[in-house]
Amino acid sequence: MTETEAKEKIQKLSKELSQHNYNYYILSRPSISDYEFDMLLKELEALEKQFPHLVDANSPTQRVGGGITKKFNTVQHRYPMLSLGNTYSREELGEFDARVRKGLGIAANVSEAAGQAQLSFDAPTESEGVEYVCELKFDGLSISLTYENGELARAVTRGDGTQGDDVTTNVKTIRSIPLKLQKGNWPSIFEIRGEIFMHRKTFDKLNNELAAELREKGLDEEEILEKLYKNPRNFASGTLKQQNSADVAKRPLDAFLYFLYIDDNPFENHIQSLKAANDWGFQVSAHAQVCKNLNDIYKFIDYWDKERHNLSYEIDGIVIKVNDYHQQEELGFTAKVPRWAISYKFKAESASTVLEKITYQVGRTGSITPVANLKPVKLAGTTVKRASLHNANEIERLDLREGDTVYVEKGGEIIPKITGIDLSKRTNNHAHIYITHCPKCGAELVRKDGEANHYCPNENGCPPQIVGKIIHFIGRKAMDIDSLGGETVEGLYKKRLIENAADLYSLTYDKLIGLEFELNSEVDDGKNKKRSLQEKSVQNILEGIEKSKQIPFERLLFGLGIRMVGETVAKKLAKAFGDIYKLSEATVEKMILVDEIGDKIAESVYHYFREGRTKIIIEKLSQAGVQLCIKEDENQTAQSNKLEGKSFVISGVFAKYSRDELKSMIENNGGRNVGSISKSLNYLLAGDKMGPEKLKKATDLNIAVISESDFEHMLFQN
């Protein structure tokens, strides 16, 4: 193909793809199948690869991401990005309307005061001198998009209102944001503002995936909850700040646009401009509505206060804007907010219900979490039955008692909170007494100085801790026996077929076939399902166990769940001692000679090997034929000097590798891990949820900030 032909073809494909994109995302009327779309995109990608100088900055291929922003440039906003005044009641809205009227010199009307307005609720809705547009207040991040000659030129975050971050590369992955506009008479340069958000379903899916990964890493439920994104807005915000736009593309975001800034504004009012923006190819909410008076506004608010739970995304209120642009201009701005718009915030939904019982969960490490079991109540579109109480301090702080009528709130977070007690309904005269003994094994609980949580110290005799350890053993990063799930392990333990990880190797076909056990024993909803092991699953389980015998020694060592022995420590110990027998005989002094092994780890390992049952477990593992020593060639894998002389700081949470894994990858390839950011540092390897301070320090010092995939590129390419 000649260059001219390629150019034509690229243009044709780009146009076609952007039309299909518009049909799908803006009109919700797909014109081809996903497969056909992908094929066209692939064709374009191939051509662009062949003729890289013909790649357009706004080509549809930019949607899949890949562009890396080491440091987001700061951009000054042409028009400041203001926020809105908030109101929480009809009275305050009445006051807003009165201010607007006064500012415009329009007489007050019957609906000026909320009380009167209610009286005339069904009166005909005539315009009374000022018309408003009510819109949903999307709970996301505001964004400013600049279009030049019909193409997206820049996308900038709100920042401090006067300047924000240039996130253009990331924003290009958002399918509903047009890279090139549809036909229409758009001005040659204009700005449009709106909100970027994540749909609830996407949030749930991605957060669940993250939870599963953390569970596999051995974190218990309380720790997992800490690490998960708290709501779709947080997730969207974390996503938009990713340095690799390919990571942004993997976490689909969406956007509604709601405000046009044009130097010579051709429109008379706001609703007209929304309509035009929609025609040019922007996604504009279908729920904006002209309201002729306060009554219309109240109706809109009441409707959406209930209906919001049926939307696929979250809104936290309603925005009310004066429709007419001349009136907007006349009203102008205060120092912080426009006088012609205001928001009405919904109250965090709360419900009252009875706290029936406080129960306690025991985690893999023995940590105790109290749980409030509630009389089921509907709240924000879901039925709430439980609320976490965190620890004994929380119960004491609230002076919670069983039988209390409590208020529960779901303030944009996953797990509902108990926010208060209706003391007028209290019948229980006794303060709640926190358990002193483990609810599962009866051992006396301990609470270390300065710690909020109680622990069950009966590591080897407490069922949830034993089962938790076996689940850790079969995890992906340990022995990777994925044919066995947590529920099966629990079932096998209850049937006394296994008491520790080594017992897995004495399971046989005859012991397993037809075995019946109950699922979901933790969930007491009276609907416990039974499961019976059939031929196929038995075969899978046995095959999985057999295969695990080939898993390298270091992963077995990690899988044993010795306190303080994570993946990296296990690797170091395996490498230093070579086999489990030498390690079991090692003194604390000898162990601390190994790099990164401190007193506490060494003592923990030392004690583990001095416990009576450890010998039995090792004996069983040895008879089963699992790898209890390092294989000669294992030591040599994945080593190079590609990172020689380079220093790294690792910060945040990563999608693919654990921090320990990243550390060993750096070391195995000649690099150096350092603890803090300084001028001499070469790279900051940044994951999610990295502290902003660190990022700032690194960017101030001009240190390269790289993502997990940049790091992979460094290691695995060429």
Catalytic residue positions, numbered: 137
Residue pair 75/69 in contact (Cβ under 8 Å)? The answer is: no
Pattern 424-463, ligand IVH, x by CB under 6 A:
----------------------------------------
Residue pair 137/315 in contact (Cβ under 8 Å)? The answer is: yes
Which residues does 451 contact at the CB level (< 8 Å), separation at least 6?
Answer: none
Q: What 3-state class would DSSP assign to 302?
A: helix
Q: From CA 17, how far away is CA 574, in angstroms rounded?
A: 54
Pattern 326-355, ligand IVH, x by CB under 6 A:
------------x--x-x------------
Q: Which of 64, 82, 189, 211 binds ligand IVH (CB under 6 A)?
A: 82
Q: From CA 488, how far away is CA 506, in angstroms rounded?
A: 16
**Closer Cβ to ligand IVH, 258 or 300, answer by number:** 258
Least distance from ligand IVH to the Cβ atom of residue 592, Å: 54
Interface segment toward ligand IVH; rule CB under 6 A; list 17-25, 76-84, 561-569, 637-645: 76-84
Q: Does 271 bind ligand IVH (CB under 6 A)?
A: no
One-letter identity of residue 61:
T
Cα 698 from chain centre: 24
**Closer Cβ to ligand IVH, 236 or 703, answer by number:** 236
Strand 289-291 relative to strand 315-322: parallel, antiparallel, unpaired? Answer: unpaired
Interface segment toward ligand IVH; rule CB under 6 A; list 18-26, 80-88, 639-647, 672-680: 80-88
Least distance from ligand IVH to the Cβ atom of residue 236, Å: 12
Pattern 579-618, ligand IVH, x by CB under 6 A:
----------------------------------------
Give the number of other Cβ atoms within 10 Å of residue 656's Cβ. 12
**Closer Cβ to ligand IVH, 210 or 319, answer by number:** 319
CA angle at 237 for the pair 232 and 238, rounded to the nearest 5°: 100
Q: From CA 249, how far away is CA 94, in angstroms rounded?
A: 44
Give Cα separations from 705 to 173, 234, 243, 678, 700 (angstroms): 21, 22, 8, 13, 11
Q: What are phi and psi of 255, to 5 degrees?
A: -150, 140
**Closer Cβ to ligand IVH, 82 or 98, answer by number:** 82
Q: What 3-state class would DSSP assign to 222?
A: helix
Task: Choose among 468, 506, 508, 511: nearest CA to 489.
Answer: 468
Q: Is 283 left (phi over 0), alpha (psi -120 to 50) or beta?
A: beta
Cβ burial, residue 414 (10 Å; 0-12/13-18/19+): middle
Q: Quick one: DSSP state of residue 124?
A: -
Residue with the CB atom nearest ligand IVH in the bound state: 142
Residue labelled with tokens 């208020």: 407
**Closer Cβ to ligand IVH, 83 or 641, answer by number:** 83
Least distance from ligand IVH to the Cβ atom of residue 256, Å: 7
Least distance from ligand IVH to the Cβ atom of residue 77, Å: 12
Q: Which of 97, 191, 195, 404 binds ligand IVH (CB under 6 A)?
A: 195
Least distance from ligand IVH to the Cβ atom of residue 83, Å: 4
Interface segment toward ligand IVH; rule CB under 6 A; list 81-89, 354-362, 427-435, 499-507: 81-89
Q: From CA 491, how far away is CA 473, in angstroms rounded?
A: 16
Least distance from ligand IVH to the Cβ atom of residue 342, Å: 9
| Tokens read off for 367 | 């940590």
Question: Is the Cα torsion angle 496, 498, 500, 503 positive or negative in sign?
Answer: positive
**Closer Cβ to ligand IVH, 195 or 708, answer by number:** 195
Strand 683-686 relative to strand 704-706: parallel, antiparallel, unpaired? Answer: parallel
Q: Does 486 bind ligand IVH (CB under 6 A)?
A: no
Interface segment toward ligand IVH; rule CB under 6 A; list 67-75, 77-85, 215-223, 480-488: 77-85
Residue pair 435/445 in contact (Cβ under 8 Å)? The answer is: yes
Q: Quick one: DSSP state of residue 219?
A: -
Q: Which of 31, 74, 83, 639 binds ligand IVH (CB under 6 A)?
A: 83
Least distance from ligand IVH to the Cβ atom of residue 243, Å: 23
Query: What DSSP string describes 584-607?
Result: HH--HHHHTTSTT--HHHHHHHHH
Q: Does 259 bind ligand IVH (CB under 6 A)?
A: yes
Beta bridge partners of 382: 379
Q: From CA 447, how far away is CA 441, in angstroms rounded?
A: 17
Least distance from ligand IVH to the Cβ atom of residue 62, Å: 25
**Closer Cβ to ligand IVH, 77 or 555, answer by number:** 77
Question: Is the Cα torsion angle 227, 230, 232, 238 positive or negative in sign?
Answer: negative
Least distance from ligand IVH to the Cβ atom of residue 333, Å: 8
Q: 107 to 146, contacts with ligand IVH by CB under 6 A? A: 135, 137-138, 142
Which residues does 171 contact at the CB level (< 8 Å), separation at least 6?
Answer: 143, 145, 152, 155, 177, 196, 240
Q: From CA 596, how far away is CA 607, in angstroms rounded?
A: 19
Q: Which of 25, 258, 313, 648 binds ligand IVH (CB under 6 A)?
A: 258
Q: Does 84 bind ligand IVH (CB under 6 A)?
A: yes
Residue pair 443/338 in contact (Cβ under 8 Å)? The answer is: no
Dihedral angle over CA of 178, 180, 184, 190, nearest 10: 80
Least distance from ligand IVH to the Cβ atom of residue 191, Å: 12
**Closer Cβ to ligand IVH, 259 or 558, answer by number:** 259
**Closer Cβ to ligand IVH, 258 or 577, answer by number:** 258
**Closer Cβ to ligand IVH, 20 or 137, answer by number:** 137
**Closer Cβ to ligand IVH, 82 or 189, answer by number:** 82
Q: From CA 272, how far away is CA 265, in angstroms rounded?
A: 11
Least distance from ligand IVH to the Cβ atom of residue 140, Å: 7
Strand 86-87 relative to strand 341-345: parallel, antiparallel, unpaired? Answer: parallel
**Closer Cβ to ligand IVH, 285 or 647, answer by number:** 285
**Number of residues lying near ligand IVH (CB under 6 A):** 14
Least distance from ligand IVH to the Cβ atom of residue 547, Å: 52
Least distance from ligand IVH to the Cβ atom of residue 418, Å: 29
Question: Is the Cα torsion angle 583, 588, 593, 596 positive or negative in sign?
Answer: positive
CA angle at 170 for the pair 665 and 698, rounded to the nearest 5°: 50
> What stretch of H or E contains 701?
none
Residue labelled with tokens 């150019």: 7
Q: Does 77 bind ligand IVH (CB under 6 A)?
A: no
**Closer Cβ to ligand IVH, 43 or 316, answer by number:** 316
Binding site for ligand IVH (CB under 6 A): 82-84, 135, 137-138, 142, 195, 258-259, 319, 338, 341, 343
